[in-house]
Amino acid sequence: MAPTLSPDGKTLYVCLRFQNEVAVIDISSKRIQRRIPVTREPVAEVLSKDGKTLFVANHLPSGPANVNRISSVVDVIDTAKCKVVKSIPLSNGAVALRRICLSPDGKIVYVTSTFAKFMLATTAVERGWMNSSGLSLIDAEKRELLYSICLDDESLGAANPWGVVCSPDGKWICVAHAGTHEVSIIDQAALLAKLSKFPALGQSGLADADYEALPDNPTDDLNFLQGIRRRIKLKGIGPRELTAANGKLYAANYFSGTVDVVDLESGKVLEPIRLGPDQPMTLERKGEMLFNDASQMCFQQWQSCATCHPDGRMDGLNWDLLNDGMGNPKSTRSLLFAAETAPLMAKGVRHDAERAVRSGIKYIQFMQPTDEKTQAILAYIKSMKPVPSPFLVNGQLSSRAQKGKQVFEKAECASCHNGLYFTDSARYNVGTSDSPDKGAEFVTTKLNELWRTAPYLHDGRSATLEDVLGKDNPRDQHGVTSKLTPEERANLVEYLKSL
């Protein structure tokens, strides 16, 4: 993703999202010269004006989920050294990063994300109680987080911020709201003037909580952008990518296959550009649109299913859903093969996928779950296809993974993790159930696409598969892992990452 050319035109940087790397490609030889490891799922990048620094937006956070502070990071690559020299954590709960851009004067890096309030029980959506929409500002020279601002309005969310660009004259910062089919056009000079009254986050020395306690702080103030931004409804559906030129903003709409054109000065939405004939409307397609749509699928547009389940997977966070009581947060689950395996949820509280979808619409989105919407979303979930593991070699298990498969048998993993989706659908206490779910039994988890679904276990306590097999299985209640040699363990992990 995000091919970015160096100012001298000699080097191309490309984000390898699922390899967790940035490739450095020499243009003349067309060869990958280096692969720079980054934090997790790099999806966008931008170069400083002098080409010396590459800012990489990582989609998901890394680390365990049962903690009080968690966010995705922007990695800073020194292009001369070809390595990450700093990782900038965004504000607490800033996850699902999508796009990044540089102000034309080269001073500020803007990055879009969701701001998740994962520490609150999910009793409401109003005022961004669960999720709000965020824009983070980074000082390009000091490489520090400056500010986080909220892109919603007090009683109207602007869910799933995606593309972000500055107009070439630096007058406007534009953000696409993929969940509400809008763009925000923000007056950059007015924004920076308003922000300058607050201490910069990276230099304030204040912890997140202390910063949030500041009166009218921009991170939490849902009225912060009033008077300095225009929210404009587009004609198309699902705007993601943006570009601005010659006084116009162009927004590529993922679902309607159109490009909307907005006049930046007047805010007028002009005739859209059609990219081809309309795609046939199947039930799956309708379901995917609803899954991503906050305008039809959530009270006051605060979030869509995709806000917590980006790309149908997970946000890497724990949420205290009310499906199994309060005070016992669970890690968000990927929806791949969710309809093929029942019961659903960590504790199996939902009998089948249809009931899970219906309850999601009702209790998380605070909407009436009509049959039409439920069936469409269900059809979308059923249509999801796994992405082949980047750990496969030519589509096959590597030789290490093959050895790991034997360890999987030997350690008796397959007595519970069996069949096409590696689950017997039964409930067990495998020694992972302590407070607040003391003594609880959990459904054997599916193991497909494990390479991209960290953190693991019902409460996201394991940042890695090594943790699942080691630190989080101290008494061999979850497969017999204590007697494995380090090599066997490494091979087993290689196998698990290949599924």
Site residues for ligand HEC per CB under 6 A? 122, 130, 303, 305, 307-309, 319, 321, 323-324, 330, 332-333, 335, 338, 344-346, 353, 356-357, 360-361, 364-365, 377, 411-413, 415-417, 428, 430, 432, 442, 444-445, 447, 450, 453, 456-458, 465, 468-469, 478-479, 481, 492, 496
Our separate counts of H helices and E strands in the chain read 11, 25
Type and span of the H or E element at 495: helix 486-496
428 closest CA partner among 480, 481, 478 = 478
DSSP, res 118: T
Q: Are 239 and 252 in contact (CB under 8 A)?
A: yes
- Tokens describing residue 483: 């007697």
Tokens 């990958």 identify what position? Answer: 32
Residues 6+ apart with CB under 8 A from 377: 287, 290, 291, 305, 357, 361
Q: Which is nearer to ligand HEC, 175 or 413 (CB)?
A: 413
164 closest CA partner among 192, 133, 189, 143 = 133
Type and span of the H or E element at 306: helix 305-308
Q: Are 447 and 389 in contact (CB under 8 A)?
A: no
Beta-bridge partner residues of 280? none
Q: Are 253 and 236 in contact (CB under 8 A)?
A: yes
Q: Are 141 and 152 in contact (CB under 8 A)?
A: no
Side chain identity, residue 32:
I
Alpha helices in 328-485 (DSSP H): 353-359, 371-383, 399-410, 465-469
Residue number closest to ligand HEC, CB atom: 479
Report in angstroms how near the CB of residue 224 gets to ligand HEC at its nearest.
23
> What is the C-alpha to C-alpha distance for residues 495 and 293, in angstroms, rounded to an integer?
36
Tokens 């109207």 identify what position? Answer: 156
Beta strands in 290-333 (DSSP E): 318-319, 330-331
Side chain identity, residue 398:
S
> What is the C-alpha to C-alpha distance for residues 400 and 81, in angstroms, rounded to an integer?
32
